[in-house]
Chains A and B, each alone.
Chain A
């Protein structure tokens, strides 16, 4: 298995405040990896740094290409889809326009309608609401729309920031089921940030635990889930 994303000595700053202190980790192609940690640990910041949405130093390589100095939109155009915390929904546009926007940087325009239909197959509720203003969807529906929008890029790598946030347990199950399927069938590599550690560890093969801007633990998802000390001190379950 080849490495898709390598991160070395990543430091990120909000103004004068340093939020990441030399983070290191890597993702294998085709894998699902989860980044766990408490509030304020730096999970969101890590994802933002990968897309160059925040001032950072260090080395990030995607499929051998350094991302340093690249604009956010060019990082995305390499095939990195980011579902941000808060979902980033275009609330004043329709559901279908949101999906169109997900594919806006693609050159293969003629395949887009088929992909929209595939999203409707994954998320039937979006089809029912395709002409509705996205801002009027429920929180769960908006989360599905955000995932579907990201998939419309036909990404090689998908970054998900707390996809379970605010969703009912049953819906979270559904959503994670779909993510597993997407990973399996479309070979999309996934990096998922979660507060819901238990669930994330079921989906992922590899896990990293982050605390105040540093990786403090890593291993297979099974090792992390089976280690009671880690669970108690970092994951809170």
Chain B
């Protein structure tokens, strides 16, 4: 029983990171209807920036906040420079754009900081949370930070005018323009926020997987899985999907003999395919009630 609780809690903790990545992916998907394959590399790059800031002597939290600001601006710049010109381009051109971005970020990170793994500090430490053996303080911290992030995002979309404008632009761009919303900037803003959210995921997972240019590959796959499972149109679904994938992955690895670490990912992906066959819009995909 203790093993079970332990695995569930650990699953929720890694699930928090998947939730972050899924949120970032959904944010951009809602704005431009494409999956950003480079989301993981953007997060990795942000994490290196945080690491560099700390090398220069900044404390964890100042480096964390500054990295969020830099990532936000970086996301906006990437959209303006790379993807805005592609607005009406076909899907494959977008895919090429994402792959280019992926490759650029990966090699620039490798060139700048090399490919050896680096320690990334945790602001929460790694002792047992509240003295228990079930979950570490870092894992508890990951869950806590993601929950705070969710609350802030919820409040932003529900209670601010910019949040409302972003929702409108994502759901009906033409109507949004007719009430005076600059939908193009809303897309850029979505990129900035996705980039910052991804950065949080990167900085939280780095103490666990260690910092190196390829650290986000697997994480982003799980993030995609979570986003699809939650129904790509729902930020709430993305988060629930993240936690579900995290827990499922851990339980499968622990309890199904012979699965171990190598087969966890394919099995998690298989689950998603099953879900999508049964419910194509994902668990929380938006069903729009519409009467004409």
Contact = CB atoms under 8 A, between A and B. Distances in A.
A97 interface: yes
A22 interface: no
B288 A135 contact: yes
A105 B180 contact: yes
B252 interface: no
Interface in B251-292: 286, 288-292
Interface residues of B, number: 23
A133 B171 contact: no
A90 B174 CA distance: 11
Interface stretch (B68-76, B160-168, B206-214, B238-246): B160-168
A51 B165 CA distance: 19
Contact of A136 (B161, B176, B177, B289): B289
B179 A135 contact: no
Contacts of B183: 73
Contacts of A133: 289
Most buried by B among A76, A91, A153: A91
Given A101-B164, A135-B289, A90 B175 contact: yes
Interface size class of A (residues with CB under 8 A): 20 to 34
Interface in A97-113: 97, 100-102, 104-105, 109
Contact of B292 (A81, A82, A139): A139
Contacts, number: 78
B151 interface: no
Interface string B29-66: 00000000000000000000000000000000000000
A171 interface: no
Interface string A61-98: 00000000001110011000110101011111100010
B172 interface: yes
Contact of B179 (A91, A105, A109, A138): A105
A136 B168 CA distance: 17
B148 interface: no
Given A92-B171, A135-B289, A100 B178 contact: no
A137 interface: yes
Contact of A89 (B167, B175, B176, B177): B175
A185 to B, nearest CB: 23
B87 interface: no
B181 interface: yes
Interface in B143-190: 161, 164-165, 167-168, 171-172, 174-183
Contact of A91 (B164, B174, B180, B289): B289
A104 B180 CA distance: 7
A142 B290 CA distance: 11
Most buried by A among B161, B164, B179: B179
Contacts of B168: 90, 93, 101, 104
A137 B291 contact: yes
B228 to A, nearest CB: 20
Given A84-B174, A93-B168, A135-B288, 11 more contacts: A76-B178, A84-B178, A88-B174, A88-B178, A89-B175, A90-B171, A92-B286, A100-B161, A101-B181, A102-B179, A136-B291
7 contacts: A76-B178, A90-B171, A102-B179, A104-B181, A105-B179, A135-B289, A142-B291
Closest A-B pairs by Cβ, 6 of them = A105-B180, A88-B175, A76-B180, A72-B177, A135-B289, A135-B290
Interface of A: 51, 53, 71-73, 76-77, 81-82, 84, 86, 88-93, 97, 100-102, 104-105, 109, 133, 135-139, 142, 149, 153
